[in-house]
């Protein structure tokens, strides 16, 4: 069953703009992670936020987590053409990770 | 850097064949996973393993089996391939860590499998 659901499904922006993607989930979590997938490749881990954290930064990435609303957002600032990819959130309980269906981001040069 | 290597990027097989997909990781990770990825459905967990010779069913294990005889290698087996198993297959690994479920997963580049 899919727990994480990303919104929007697709997003197209100009280079230099910010991109925001949202993720909603259904049950309690230990942590939430965001991954990027370039076309035809595997997923690459971007950032992990623990259930007791509200915000985390990594370079141009900013992730927030609201456990009361069971939602998270990923903000990419000053986007570049190289950021074009699909982005997935993943929630984890014990061993298992549950991935959402992803947001396809296209950054236009 | 962690490297997860899947044996084939592209594979074409016929219905009824027994198909083996191999995955090797070089970071001594305890956990290994097999997913399939289909448009609109995201990643779905087929099987995972948290130790040598240990395996657990994921969300869609039907038609698949796995083997983990060595810590670095996790094999996915399609016992009798069918056309609805045409998909992208992704292998991943992670450390068990001190707290379950807190470790990032490292993925291979995937095997795009076509069953004709």
> In 10 A of CB A25, how many CB atoms?
21
Higher per-residue confidence, B98 vs B87? B87
- Based on its alpha-carbon atoms, the radius of gyration of chain B, rounded to whole angstroms, reads 13
Rounded CA-CA distance B12/B115 in Å is 6
Average pLDDT, chain B: 92
Confidence label for A29 from pLDDT (cuts 50, 70 and 90):
confident
For residue A46, give the chain B residue with the closest CA: B104
Contact (Cβ atoms closer than 8 angstroms) between residue A21 and residue A7: yes
Residues in B 8-67 with any Cβ partner in A closer than 8 A: 31, 33, 35, 40-43, 45, 48, 50, 56, 58-59
A and B: number of Cβ contacts within 8 A: 69
β partners of residue A6: A23
For residue A5, give the chain B residue with the closest CA: B42
Q: Which residues of A touch B97 (CB under 8 A)?
A: none
Confidence label for A98 from pLDDT (cuts 50, 70 and 90):
confident
């Amino acid at each position: 069953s899919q727990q994480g659901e990303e919104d929007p499904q697709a997003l197209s922006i100009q280079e230099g703009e910010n991109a925001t993607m949202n993720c909603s989930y259904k049950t309690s979590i230990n942590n939430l992670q965001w991954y990027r997938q370039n076309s035809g490749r595997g997923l690459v881990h971007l950032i992990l936020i623990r259930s007791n954290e509200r915000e985390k930064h990594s370079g141009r990435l900013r992730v927030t987590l609201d456990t009361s609303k069971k939602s998270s957002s990923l903000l990419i600032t000053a986007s570049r053409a190289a950021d074009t990819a699909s982005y997935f959130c993943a929630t984890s309980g014990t061993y298992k990770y549950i991935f959402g269906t992803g947001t396809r981001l296209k950054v236009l040069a | 850097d962690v490297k997860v290597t899947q044996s084939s990027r592209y594979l074409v097989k016929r219905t009824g064949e027994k198909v083996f997909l191999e995955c090797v990781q070089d970071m001594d990770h305890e956990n290994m996973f097999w997913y399939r990825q289909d448009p609109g459905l995201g990643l779905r967990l087929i099987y995972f393993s948290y130790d040598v010779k240990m395996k657990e069913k994921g969300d869609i294990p039907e038609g698949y089996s796995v083997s983990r005889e060595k810590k670095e290698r996790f094999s996915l087996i399609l016992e009798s391939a069918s056309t609805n198993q045409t998909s992208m297959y992704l292998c991943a690994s992670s450390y068990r860590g001190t707290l379950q479920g807190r470790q990032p997963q490292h993925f291979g580049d995937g095997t795009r499998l076509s069953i004709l």
